[in-house]
Amino acid sequence: MKNKKIKKTGGAVLSSSDRFFEIITYAFLLLIVIIVAYPLYYVLIASLSDPYDVYAGKTFFLPSQFTLEGYKRVFQESAIAVGYINSIYYTVLGTAVSVALIITSAYALSKKNLPFRKVIMIFYVITMYFGGGLIPTYLVVSKTGLMNSVWALILPGGVAVYNVIVARTFFENSIPEDLYEAAQIDGSSNIGTFIRIALPLAKPIIAVMVIFTMVGYWNDWFTALIYMGEKSKYPLQLALRQILIQSQATATMIGNMDGGYAEANRVTELIKFASIVVGSVPMLIAYPFVQKYFEKGFMAGAVKG
C-alpha cells in the first residue's frame, strides 16, 4: 500500500539528492545480497566441479570440469540414504504431532472465559524460562522407555510454548467472536466449531507453524545424538556430521575404494559439497511458499509475548 503511494507521487520526480541516496541504498543492498548468497552459490558450483580444481581455487564463478560424480556418490552412500529416509519420517511425524499440539492448545487457550486459562498459561510459560536441564530430561526420557524410538525426538519437546502464544494471539485477534456464536446457535459442539470454523480460518498460522516446526525437525541433530544409539536410526544431520565435521570417509567409501587413501580422501572432499546441497535443498525450497505469512506470525508473537 504505502509503497505504491510513494511510487505514484514521488517516483517520477526524484530530486538529485534522493537519486544519490537511492543509488547508495541499492549499492549496499547489492553488497549484502552478494555476501549472503555467494557462499551458497559457491557450494553449488563446487559440488558440480572436480575437487582438485575446487581446492586449486578455480571455481569462483563457474563450475570447473563439470561433473555429477559428487551427487552419484552421495546417493550411493548408505549412511546418507538411510539418514534421508529417517529424516523424512521424523520430520513428517514430528511436524504432524507438534502442530496438532500447538493448534489445539492455542485454540483452547484463546477462549477468554475458560476457567483456569491463566493458570494453564503460567504453567506453560514457566517451561520457557526454567527447565530441568540436559541430564534430568535425559533420565526421564530413558525411564519412560523412549530410547532409540522416534518418540524420543518428538515428545520431550512437548508443546512449543512460544508458538502456542503466537497461534493463540492469532485466534484471539483474527477470528471474529460472532462466527463462533453463530455456529453455537446452529447447535454445533465446541469441537465441531473448532474443526469447521476455526481450523479453515487458521490456515495462514497453521502454514507458519508447519514450516517452523518442519525446519526444526529437519535440522535437529542433538536430540538424535543423545537418544538414538543405533546408527541405522540416525537422521540425515548426523550422517552429515560424520562427513562434514569429523571429515571421515564412511565405510561405503572405503569399501568401494581401489585407489587407496588418496582416492578415499578425494571422494570425501567431493562428497562434502554435494551432501551440503542435498541436505539443505528441501527446506530452501519449502520456505518461500509461506514467506508472506512470516511478518504476520512475528507481529502476533511480538504483541503479546
From CA 9, how far away is CA 1, in angstroms rounded? 13
CB of 98 to another protein, least distance (A): 10
Report in angstroms how near the CB of residue 250 gets to another protein at its nearest. 15
Query: What contacts 24+ positions apart, CB below 8 Å, involve 173-177?
Result: 173/300, 174/201, 174/205, 175/201, 175/202
Q: For the chain, how many residues are written?
A: 305
Of 2 and 258, nearer to another protein (C-beta) is 2
Q: Which of residues 221-260 bind another protein (CB under 8 A)?
A: 221-222, 226, 237, 240-241, 243-245, 247
Name which of residues 58 to 97 contact another protein (CB under 8 A): none
CA 160, CA 250: separation in Å to the nearest integer? Answer: 36
* Cβ closest to another protein, residue 17 vs residue 258: 17
108 touching another protein, by CB under 8 A: yes
CA angle 270, 83, 215 (to 5 degrees): 100
Interface with another protein (CB under 8 A), residue from 76, 174, 232, 291: 291
Longest CA span, the chain? 77
Least Å distance between CB 115 and another protein? 5
The CA-atom distances, in angstroms, between 231 and each of 85, 146, 226, 228 are 13, 16, 12, 7
Residue 289 to residue 293: CA distance in whole angstroms: 9
- 23 near another protein (CB under 8 A): no
- Helix segments in 175-258, DSSP class H: 177-185, 190-193, 199-201, 203-219, 222-227, 236-240, 251-255
State the CB neighbour count (10 A cutoff) for residue 44.
16
Among 6, 85, 92, 199, the residue binding another protein under the rule CB under 8 A is 6
Single out the residue of 189, 196, 199, 251 in contact with another protein (rule: CB under 8 A). Answer: 189
- Shortest Å distance, C-beta 66 to another protein: 19
Q: Binding pattern to another protein, positions 259-288, x when CB under 8 A?
A: -------------xx--x--xx--xx-xxx
Nearer to another protein, 39 or 260 (CB): 39
| Nearest approach, Cβ of residue 241 and another protein (Å) | 6
Of 42, 45, 81, 162, the residue at the interface with another protein (CB under 8 A) is: 42
Distance separating the N- and C-terminal Cα atoms of the chain: 28
Residue 173 interacting with another protein (CB under 8 A): no
Q: Is the dihedral angle over the CA atoms 108, 113, 118, 120 positive or is it negative?
A: negative
Does 194 sit near another protein (CB under 8 A)? yes
| 265-281 core/surface letters (b: 16 or more CB in 10 A; e: else) | bbbbbbbbbbbbbbbee
* In the complex, minimum distance from the CB of residue 251 to another protein, in angstroms, rounded to a whole number: 20
Residues near another protein (CB under 8 A), total: 104
Contact with another protein (CB under 8 A) among 76, 144, 173, 232: 144
Interface with another protein includes 119 (CB under 8 A)?
no
105 binds another protein (CB under 8 A): yes
Is residue 174 near another protein by the rule CB under 8 A? no
CB 301 within 8 A of CB 222: no
